[in-house]
Amino acid sequence: MLSQEGEAPRPNLMLTLDDSRSMNWDFLPDGFFSRQGVNGLWLGQDGSVAAFPHDPLSGNGLTLVPAQRREPATLEPIYQKQYRSPDVNALFYNPDVRYLPWVARSGARWSQAVAVAARHDPLTLATLDLTRMWPQQTARFCFGREAGCRTETQDFHPGLYYRLRSGGDPHDPAAYQRFDLNVAGEHAPLSKHPARTDCAGPRCTQAEERQNFANWFTYHRHRLSIAKAALSEALARAVGRVRVGWGTINQPDAWVDELHMAVVRQGVRELDTHHLTHVLQGVQAIQAQGETPLRTAVPSVGRYFRARNDRWNPWLEIPGEADTAQAPCRRAFHLLMTDGQYNDPAPAIGDLDGQDGPDHAHANPLGAQPTRILAAPPRRDGPADQPGRAATLADTVMQDYWADLMPRLSNRVPPTPDDPAFWQHLSLLAVGLGLQGELPATNEAERANTLAQLRAGQWHWPDPNTSLAARVDDLWHAAVNTGGAFYTVQQAQDLERALQAALTQTHGGSIQSGGVAWAGQRLSVDGLTRYVTRYRWPAAWGDVQAYAVDASGEATAPGGAWVWSAAEQLPAPMDRALVTWNGTAGVPFTWEGIGVDNQARLGAPHVVDYVRGETSFEGAGQWFRPRGGHVLGAFVHTPPTLVQAGASLGYERLSDAQAAATYPAYRAARQARREGVLWAGSSAGVLSAFRLSDGREVFGYLPQAGLERMAQVMRLDTTGTAPPPVMGVDGPLLETDAYLQPRGEAARRWANLLVGSLGAGGRALFALALPTSDVTALSADAVQWELTDDADLGHVTAPFQAGRLVGGEGYAFVGNGVDSPSGEAVLLVVSLQTGRIVQRLRVPSGDGARNGLMGVQLLRNAQEEVYAAYAGDLQGHLWRFDFPDADPQHAGVAWGGRPLFSAHDAQGRPQPFSAPPLVGPHPAGGVGVLVGTGRLLHDIDVATSNVQSFYGLRDPTPLETSALDALPVSVDRARLLTQQVQPTPIAGSDGQRYLSVTAHALDPAQHDGWVLDLTVQAGQRVLSAAQWVAGQVLFSSVTPPQRAAVCELAQAQAHHFVLDAWSGAAITTPLFDVNADGVVNTHDTVNLPAGQGVAAVLSTDPVMGPVLGAQAGLVSAGSSSAATAVSTPICRPDPLGKCPPHHCLVALTRADAAHIELCLPDRCARSPDAEGCRDKVILDRIWRPLLNPPVF
């Protein structure tokens, strides 16, 4: 909601169908077959044989496979049985399949075939009576490769077909069961297949079977027939989703859209019902003849898309209307379907995939990386130290991939991991019908493993000049080179699924960044790593990547390449260490391990296999949404949380003597950790732990609360589409230390705990106990508890906290979030040991409107024990909760159930709280509470334009004192000092935009605090916690974008305020280097209506992240716990003297990892190494930007 993508234009798709002679054949595959573990070879690979007499498409209707009936059936020729069995010849009639006439137009089909006069092809007049035996047919009958062919006169039974018995040898005549369409009782299997919805009873009748057989004979018998059938079905489902043109590989030169060219018969048009009819009429009329000139046909399609400036330009919104806009982010695909290996002369091109492509850095408005296509695996033919091969099919496609097809058009094509090109280019989607190369590629799992070996340089592409099988791999290689996809189809019924998957490949949202975490002991060139979570929506897949960066946040690897990618390192499906909760304990995420309750939630074992990464049941015609090999889900909102050594929480000062005494040894063990993990939750419903050293997933937790919904949205419906994906594990994570009894152990000890919520993905909390020494050694026992199905528990999307009560145990303090069943605002006190809610601090509900408690902040005493908490609710009330002793039952809402403050704008409209407050000792005594208002929880919130505010309030309750029985304290907005943002922005010489804030003095006698209304933009709001920075307050506001234009990404506008914490006034000395002269001094003042002033507000498009100190280490903005990192000097070293004396140099990180530096007044003199600064700041260990803009 904080970034809005413009409507994605429908992709261009050019269909090219193989119309070579072999497409008339009625057998598949060619020559060799492999069935039930037995390999065989049959006659017919030259296309000189047919299954039925007088077939005008076979090329020779008098060279036939016999169709004899003999008794017993074992005497019938084995070659006849093989050819007429779908278990060997994948094109022959299969009684398990319902055969339909072709789609003729949207919502209509061709007529049902007539069994007594079945056409050999819908477009021919020749027919065959399938319902009777044809006596004494004289023809050249073939009996197999060894037996050969001879002219004989035989009876011909057209209704014969066979099924290979389970486990049978396809070379054994006795292994086949005979069926005869024209023999009652032998016409069909005893039990129909569930797919045979055309049969009314449990067994198909003879009439029903004859009708199905006739439909197969007319519409599905040849290779070209099934290609037409599958294309027709796929295109009918794609109406309104794609723009389509079509052609054939043997089409000679002709004029198409004012361009004289071969192959293309019709240019791309919007696939509406009218265009669908025209495309189907053309495709279904194709006749097969000629050779297989793929190396000539592929570049011809590229020419259609290349550098078009005429009115038929395929990048125009309406081709043919020159005055319509061009869409620079429109994708272009070439879908090539073929049954053979190319046999045309080699083109005059070199080894293009062995060369680096041209650099597009000069035309890169997206800031994408990389900016060129490098000659590296898996694109390169072989090892770098060996010469590549020229003039392969993989070389021909590079011409239209690495070059910009439209140099005059802005480069805004969203890159993906497999297709990094952001310029206009052409990607190849290749469908091989009955093809098998030398490399394993018969299913998605094999293809994924082969590609992994190729990327790693362990395997190499075979030489297409050495074998026909290697030319099949060259077709795959061509698809890989262009960021496309390759589908090999061995069964007729799989062709439609492959085409549906190919069409799905043309869609999907852009790659976006879900969050960033930093790691490294200090900001140094050789010691800093940036971890970025990425996602593609609505395709709902993602990745986690690590980048080596320098002190300025710039990637140090050539081309901005990552150090590792979690998706590339993901273990095999059954090797993934996935666990879930069964209601009482953590259990392995296997069908046998999850238990009967979870089995009921998921419905079938295939769901477990799919989640683990198995690909057998995904895609069109299957159960689950296709993922294209991308198993990891989308990492959208959950910030990546880095867990390694961590920081001390000061628990050696606890009043619990035993816990305090053992904490130092525990901390020492944690500090000795040599390996760490990065935690990230995804839309796949998995919270994954990735090893820092190499990115390999070592553990994954699937909260039980998300299983049922996850299983529902991954399934495809009857139309082949899936429901919109859900967020899965999408809430905040909190790392803490807890003194408890870990699951499976007998005694209490200190444990490193990770507490999380499902956020938008569900209503649940959970806790994982992490191993102290080796944080990667996780098992099912790590799951400490899961909390769900509670009427007060909503979607917890705001940060929560954890701590120990005074003299008591450890608890999580959780605002119950939005959309709870009870609809009330409740602070939930949850035992870290058991996950049980031990106290519910319910606030008054006012007018009865639905409510929810949001971000929580704690007050701790000198022993680091919790004695109070603050949190705001969605109705605009800010509450204090007190915990006077070790018993949570003694806790309550402060001041007899009255809020500290009720926020409303000048018109009296409530201002909701989402972010946790920032708290600290107030100079006048008591507690300073600083917090902003605003919400962004539902789509409807985006358009809200009510004025929101940032408040600096004072709670007069003395520190470490309870307010349960104190006299009511209520801060009135009328007694707040009002500061204003100056309306005119200031353009600095550094290219940034600044604003100023008034500096009115606060009078404690008249003011109980201060308020700043956020009026820079309509819809401005605060969604994250403020930060202390050298005694000042830093907070950020965001303004959600409105609807974005086509091909544009509208990002939220961010404004970053640095103000005096106790008055809200602008700092009186310059903060920013406004004139960009390298120092911050009096020359950086700005002109204001009332005279000279200073810039207090920085306006940016990308959001700012955390403040970086001299030892930034692990940093965060809006983290769930301010006590999760060591107190660190805020000042960065300033050897160049950027800041004046008595000022501290600090830095803000932007979402793009760049830094903005500023100088803040400090209580100590600046020194080059920042030593001696007394002011300290606690830095957290995680960060995610408030915006999720694309990061490439």
CATH of the domain at 281: 3.40.50.410
| Residues linked to residue 1159 through DSSP beta bridges, in sequence order | 1145
Look at the chain and report how many structural domains it folds into. Answer: 5
Cα–Cα distance for residue pair 191/181, rounded to 1 Å:
15
109 belongs to a structural domain = yes
Instruction: Please enumerate in sequence order all residues whose Cβ is within 8 A of that of 26, keeping only pairs 6 or more positions apart, or say none.
Output: 50, 51, 52, 55, 58, 91, 92, 221, 222, 223
Cα–Cα distance, 596 to 26 (Å, whole number): 47
From CA 41, how far away is CA 32, in angstroms rounded? 4
Using alpha carbons, select from 257, 352, 370, 258 the residue that is nearest to residue 299.
352
Instruction: Using DSSP bridges, classify how beta strands 1009-1014 and 976-979 pair: parallel, antiparallel or unpaired.
Output: parallel
Q: What token pair was written down for 941?
A: 């919130």
In angstroms, the CA 837 to CA 763 distance is 14
Is 679 inside any structural domain? yes
Specify whether 1066 is located in the same domain as 938: no
Domain ranges, residue 829: 790-947
- Give the pLDDT confidence of 1019-1067 residue by residue, as tens digits: 999 999 998 877 789 898 988 877 767 777 667 788 888 899 999 998 8
Mean pLDDT of 188-203: 95
What local confidence, expressed as pLDDT, does residue 1117 receive? 25
Do 369 and 392 fall within a single domain?
A: yes
Residue 681 has φ and ψ, to the nearest 5°, of -100, 150
As a whole number, mean pLDDT of residues 995-1005 equals 92
Q: Looking at 267-333, list the stretches that DSSP marks H as alpha helix, in order from N- to C-terminal side.
A: 273-284, 294-305
d(CA 1178, CA 879): 24
**Among residues of the chain, what percentage have pLDDT more than 70?**
85
Would you state the pLDDT for residue 595? 95
Q: What is the pLDDT of residues 251-302, one digit of tens each?
A: 999 999 999 999 999 999 999 999 999 999 999 999 998 899 999 999 999 9
What pLDDT, on the 0 to 100 scale, is given for residue 438? Answer: 93
Quote the CA–CA distance of 700 and 573 in Å, as a whole number. 12
pLDDT of residue 577: 97
Query: What span, in angstroms and rounded, lies between the C-alpha atoms of 547 and 1008?
Result: 47
35 vs 597, residue with greater confidence: 597
Contact 1052, 1103 (CB under 8 A): yes
Helices 223-237 and 492-505, packing angle to 10 deg: 40
- Alpha carbons 1 and 1021: distance in angstroms, whole number: 13
φ, ψ dihedrals at 426, nearest 5°: -120, 125
Residue 612 pLDDT > 80: yes
- The one-letter amino acid code at 167 reads G
In a domain, 41, yes or no: yes
CA distance 1186 to 1035: 12
Residues 6+ apart with CB under 8 A from 381: 351, 353, 354, 388, 389, 392, 394, 460, 461, 477
CA nearest neighbour of 535 among 687, 716, 684: 684
Comparison of pLDDT for 873 and 568, the residue scoring more: 873
414 plus 458 within the same structural domain: yes
Angle between helices 605-612 and 707-714 (to 10 degrees): 90
Phi, psi for residue 1010 in degrees, rounded to 5: -145, 160
Give the number of other CB atoms < 10 A from CB of residue 661.
11
Mean pLDDT, the chain, whole residue set: 85
- Output helix, strand, coil percentages for the chain, rounded to the nearest 5: 15, 30, 55
Exposure of 993 by Cβ count < 10 A (0-12 exposed, 13-18 middle, 19+ buried)? middle
- Tokens 């060619």 appear where? 30
Q: Report the b/e string of 3-26 with b at 16+ CB within 10 A.
A: bbbbebbbbbbbbbbbbbbbbbbb
Per-residue pLDDT at 1050: 65
Please classify residue 393 by burial: count the beta carbons closer than 10 Å to its beta carbon, then call 0-12 exposed, 13-18 middle and 19+ buried. Answer: buried
Tell me which of 990 and 399 has the higher pLDDT: 399
Q: Which of residues 489, 504, 519 is at a domain's end?
A: 504
Residue type, 1118: G
In a domain, residue 1169? The reply is: yes
For residues 437 and 394, the answer to whether their CB atoms sit within 8 Å is no
Quick one: pLDDT at residue 1075?
78
Handedness of CA 571, 574, 576, 577 (dihedral sign): negative
Are 907 and 766 members of one domain? no
Give helix then strand counts, H and E, for the chain. 15, 62
Q: Measured over all CA atoms, what is the biggest interatomic distance in the chain, rounded to whole angstroms?
A: 117
Average pLDDT over residues 757-768: 95
- Please state the length of the chain: 1192
Q: Is residue 522 part of a domain?
A: no
- pLDDT above 50 for 1179: no
**What is residue 636's predicted lDDT score, i.e. its pLDDT?**
80
Is a pLDDT exceeding 80 seen at residue 643? Answer: yes
Same domain, 276 and 410: yes
Residues 305 and 385 in one domain: yes
> Quick one: pLDDT at residue 516?
43
Residue 67, pLDDT above cutoff 70: yes
Q: Give the DSSP H/E element, type plus range, for residue 1145.
A: strand 1143-1150
Of the given ranges (44-53, 92-101, 691-700, 740-749), which has the lowest mean pLDDT? Answer: 44-53
Top-confidence residue, 73 or 987: 73
Which residue, 1001, 987, 1068, is CA-closest to 1032? 1068
Q: Let me know: does 32 contact 82? Beta carbons within 8 Å.
A: no
Average of per-residue pLDDT across 523-538: 61
Residue 987 pLDDT more than 80? no
Query: How does DSSP assign 136-191, residue by residue?
Result: EEEEEEE--TTT-EEEEEEEE-TTEEEEEPTT--TT-GGGEEEEETTSTTSSS-SS
Q: How far apart are CA 291 and CA 294, in angstroms?
A: 9
- Could you tell me if 762 and 886 lie in one domain? no
Question: Could you tell me which of 616, 414, 399 has the C-alpha nearest to residue 507?
Answer: 414
CA atoms lying within 13 Å on the CB side of residue 1172: 9
Residues 894 and 1002 in one domain: no
380 and 296 in a common domain: yes
Radius of gyration of the chain (CA): 35
- Ranges 954-968, 998-1012, 1140-1154: which has the least confidence: 1140-1154
**pLDDT for 356:** 94
Find, among 189, 192, 178, 180, the residue nearest to 131 by Cα.
180
Q: Extract the tokens encoding 896.
A: 């007899």
Q: Which of 360-369, 503-512, 568-577, 1154-1163 has the lowest mean pLDDT?
A: 503-512
Over residues 622-641, the mean pLDDT reads: 80
In this predicted structure, the answer to whether residue 221 has a pLDDT above a threshold of 90 is: yes
- HSE-CB of 1156 using CA atoms within 13 angstroms: 26
Same domain for 166 and 59: yes
Distance CA 869, CA 236 (A): 59
8 A C-beta contact, residue 1077 and residue 1015: no
According to the model, what pLDDT value does residue 1116 have?
24
Dist CA 179 CA 186 (whole Å): 5
Instruction: Label residue 1113 by pLDDT band (50, 70, 90).
Output: very low
Residue 915 resides in a domain: yes
Rounded to two decimals, the pTM is 0.74
Say yes or no to pLDDT of 44 above 90.
Answer: no
**Percentage of residues of the chain with pLDDT beyond 90:** 59
Does any domain span residue 764? yes
User: Do both 398 and 341 map to the same domain?
Assistant: yes
Q: Give the lowest-confidence range in 12-16, 462-466, 1076-1080, 1102-1106.
A: 1102-1106
- One-letter amino acid of 618: E
Q: Which residue bears the tokens 């969604």?
A: 1023
Average pLDDT value for residue range 910-927: 95
* Same-domain pairing of 303 and 436: yes
**Domain presence at residue 1031:** yes
- Residue 1052: predicted pLDDT: 73
